[in-house]
Structure 1
């Protein structure tokens, strides 16, 4: 239940659990914010699905339009204000209950505080993992953009200024020498 959401949202893995083909999605969905903190989301499309609340003796069934998003979430779906309006439902967040009129009396959907807490923790952990992954990806992209000098190898020393080779022993035919800076004072 999300009384602040102006959309009904369905996660793509829920669509797959329902064994619904992606070809049933309609396009034309505008991007929205708030599902992943600080991120804009463009839905994969929209789908109309029947939703039922209640018991066999007292139930309501309506068709709701869901925005399908292409990432994992802590829930199967988010029911927003369009759902509440269609079912004439009233959420009570204090008691974790959703009440709506049914053909044979009031239909009540409820949860436990433990389940709600577990869902909140999972949602927060997921959002933090997404943010950490994006930070890691940005750091790796930045490292990729820093092109290393192909002439340099790990463990080699390359002087920062011009050098000249001074033979250690001018009489030695192998030409071994030392490299010294050309800008050194003659002293």
Structure 2
């Protein structure tokens, strides 16, 4: 979208949820005229918030714009309906394109999350001493190993495999 950068009004607001896992501070706001089609001609001035990252959307309509147009979005069908001078105006999205963009967006968010987790693990590992980084030897069983309670009994899981058993509470009935 081309517009005169001198019309950009600074903004210090932040918003979240456009790209999962990240937030953004706006570059600014700009008011632009938006004109309908020949069949439903009208012009409205809309405030657009300019963000410093790329998304798959050309514009994101928030509650103020939806209220101004009295628009009703249906996210399931990618459909936006609003009253117009010559009836109801319906704007439809492309489900396949939307799905492919959403898949790419999810993959990007997951990659960012993995990267953040790896960075946190690496930072935590730097804070550990060499003794803490040593792998315990297999000769000594760790103290936290579970031991069966004396009030348990072994039951056979399958008649065909009598060696496969499970421990259950001794006071449980066979029902």
- TM-score of Structure 1 vs Structure 2, range by shorter chain: 0.5 to 0.7
Of 51, 57, 70, the residue aligned with 1:75 is: 57
The 3-state SS of whatever aligns with 1:124 is: helix
User: What is the aligned counterpart of 1:116 among 95, 98, 119?
Assistant: 98
Range 19-28 or range 101-110, more displaced: 19-28
Between 1 and 2, higher relative CO (CA 8 Å, sep ≥ 6) is seen in 1
Residue 130 to residue 63, structure 1, CA distance change in 2 (3 Å):
farther
Q: Hey, what's the Cα distance between the residues in 2 that align with 1:67 and 1:45?
A: 6
Quick one: which of 34, 44, 50 aligns to 2:17? 34
Are 1:59 and 1:107, in contact at CA under 8 Å, matched by a contact in 2?
no
Q: TM-score, normalised by structure 1?
A: 0.54
Unaligned runs of 5+ in 2: 127-175
1:14 corresponds to which residue?
A: none
Matched with 1:89 is 71
Alpha-carbon distance between aligned partners in 2 of 1:130 and 1:52, rounded to the nearest angstrom: 38
1:148 alignment counterpart:
none
Distance 1:56 1:47, change over 3 A: same
Aligned pair count reads 124
Residue in structure 2 matched with residue 61 of structure 1 by the alignment:
43
Tell me the TM-score normalized by structure 2.
0.58
Give the alignment partner of residue 28 of structure 2, picking from 16, 23, 45: 45
Aligned-pair CA distance for 1:126: 3.8
How far 1:108 sits from its partner (Å)? 0.8
Mapped to 1, the partners of 2:22 and 2:97 lie a distance apart of 26
Compute the RMSD of aligned alpha carbons.
2.8
2:89 matches 1:125: no
Relative to structure 2, which stretch is displaced further, 71-80 or 124-133? 124-133
Kept in 2, the 8 Å contact 1:91–1:98? The answer is yes
The question of whether the paired residues in 2 share the 8 Å contact of 1:74 and 1:126 is answered with no
Q: Give the conservation status (yes or no) of the 8 Å contact 1:29–1:67.
A: no
Tell me, which stretches of 5 or more residues in structure 1 are unaligned? 1-17, 146-187
Larger Rg: 1
Deviation at 1:135, TM superposition (A): 6.7
Q: Secondary structure at the match of 2:10?
A: coil
